[in-house]
Chains A and B, each alone.
Chain A
Amino acid sequence: MSQPPVRAPRPVLAVAVIGIAVLALPLAGLVQRAPWTSLGDLLGRRSVLESLRVSLTVSLIAAGVVLVLGTPLAWVLARVEVPFRRLVRALVVLPMVLPPVVGGTALLFALGRRGLVGQWLDRWFDVALPFTMAGAVVAAVFVALPFYVVTVEGALRTTGDEMEGLAATLGAPPLTVLRRITLPRLVPAMGAGLALAWARALGEFGATITFAGNLPGRTRTLPLATFQALESDPEAALALSLVLLAVSLAVLVPTRNRWLPTR
């Protein structure tokens, strides 16, 4: 059954258009100033390709870690009566609203060589995370994990646990229910959450530069390279920004239906 068309009152429509303009204008400026003719040359530079390699490596590994850590976490938050659940959920969502540079500082004091846990990693395992690619992965996981958990937890709550209960009455033990009912039904949400988390990891800047630094070939990701290029080579910065914009749109447009209601 199709819905009758809704006619927006003109004042509401006018303000909505202004809202769209606020979001679209900066992007229009970027597209308008983009060096389209030399784009191929700019993106083919060794430094750009190196940043692209670092970004893809860091963000893909981070997405894998997010998948492994985030799925059980989302399930527990949605299904289990854990103590202090509100506090735990606030903690999970915190990196979404925390300034990334604060996240990076926190990581430094937790996992740095003299940090809360980092000192023991260094002493017992000779592992130092700051200013390494592994550190960039940790920073990306820190900021990206909430996007995945919130998406998957929301899907788990929407689907409810009745079907899992029914599967149990048929004699399926909990792990079988998880494997044959919960996870297959969750795949679309997991895909959407993973795409969002990956896009967030790819665009990460503040936590990375604070915790992992800006080392070419090791921790200089595309956003860091863009920031670096702004001072010395604005055209290269524009080209890199276009790449990040294109990737973000490519991820968001197909996944929007999964995490925001659409008509």
Chain B
Amino acid sequence: MNDPSVDPPTSVPAPGTAGPPPAIDLAGHTTVGDLTLDVRLKVQPGELVAVVGPNGAGKTTLLRLIAGLVALDTGSLFIGGRVVDDATPPGFVASHRRHVGWVPQDRLLFDHLPVAANVGFSPRATPERVTHLLAELDLAGLADRRPADCSGGQAQRVAVARAMASAPDVLLLDEPSTALDAESRRRIHYLLDDRERPATLLVTHDPGEAAGLADRVVELATGQVVGDAP
């Protein structure tokens, strides 16, 4: 149910202002296990926001909430100006209709499919886009390999390529650079440092990565935003 104490986020531009609605517009709260996430967050199209904070702060839950794997208890969530969760069952838009790309911390590659089929899994992935991403992330030589035969760094790049191949409006990256060598990290950062990129939430423990890539850094602690700075 909607909580009247939480103002619904305004996703329509104010009168006199122009431009597209925010890519992400969240004002709501949810409880998962011991964690209560209570967040207000707006991310503009093309903006890259780093999400930092200690373990258990709710960073991963925030990404899962936007991906549609966790539902709001109160409040609402807009993606690209469209409400995808208003804390009611009819107002909940399922993950496959949200146009988000999610790279979870543990990658979750489809181990029964080769690398190329993983990257091209999304119905929105075009062959050209898949070929481009395989080349950009130095995965072309691994296209027929099973994920089990990839190194940790290679698997991480496959996960990033798979999410980006789905042409998402919002990209959700959960520690994408963990366990990567310098070259793999550089390739992922190069892809993210692109004007055409979707709005991106990047969960990271690396202050250097946050400072180097992000337009803004949002700090979470115990499920709440405690810092929001460029």
Contacts and interface: CB of A to CB of B under 8 A. Distances in A.
Interface of A: 162-163, 165-174, 176-177, 180-181, 184-185
B144 to A, nearest CB: 17
A174 B123 CA distance: 13
Contact of B121 (A170, A173, A174, A185): A170
A177 to B, nearest CB: 8
18 contacts: A162-B108, A165-B69, A167-B121, A168-B68, A168-B95, A168-B96, A169-B67, A169-B100, A169-B166, A170-B96, A170-B101, A170-B121, A171-B99, A171-B124, A172-B122, A172-B123, A180-B121, A184-B112
User: 9 closest pairs, A vs B, by CB?
Assistant: A168-B95, A170-B122, A169-B102, A168-B96, A169-B95, A170-B166, A166-B108, A165-B69, A184-B112
A168 B94 contact: yes
Nearest to B117: A180
A163 B101 contact: no
Contacts of A177: 96
A172 B121 contact: yes
B98 interface: yes
A172 to B, nearest CB: 6
Nearest to A176: B123
A169 B101 CA distance: 6
Interface of B: 67-69, 94-96, 98-102, 104, 108, 110-112, 121-125, 162-163, 166
A177 B110 CA distance: 11
A184 B96 CA distance: 20
Contacts of A176: 123
A184 B98 CA distance: 25
Contacts of A163: 108, 110
From B94, B95, B104, residue with most partner A Cβ within 10 Å: B95
Given A166-B102, A171-B123, A172-B121, A181 B110 contact: yes
B112 A170 contact: no
Contacts of B96: 168-174, 177
Contacts of A173: 96
A115 B151 CA distance: 62
A170 B68 contact: no
Contacts of A180: 121
B104 A166 contact: yes
Nearest to A161: B69
Nearest to A177: B96
Given A169-B166, A177-B96, 14 more contacts: A162-B104, A163-B110, A166-B102, A166-B108, A169-B96, A170-B122, A170-B124, A170-B166, A172-B121, A172-B122, A174-B94, A176-B123, A185-B111, A185-B112
Contacts of B68: 168-169
A177 B27 CA distance: 30
A163 to B, nearest CB: 5
A167 B124 contact: no
A177 B94 CA distance: 13
A169 B69 contact: yes
Contacts of B67: 165, 169
A162 B110 CA distance: 11
A172 B89 CA distance: 20
Contacts of A171: 96, 99, 122-124, 166
Nearest to A184: B112
A107 B104 CA distance: 49
A176 B97 CA distance: 13
A69 to B, nearest CB: 25
A168 B102 CA distance: 10
Nearest to B99: A171
A173 B97 CA distance: 8
Contacts of B125: 170
A38 to B, nearest CB: 49
Contacts of B111: 185
Nearest to A173: B96
Nearest to B125: A170
Contacts of A184: 112
B157 to A, nearest CB: 16
Contacts of B102: 166, 169
Nearest to A172: B96
A163 B121 CA distance: 12
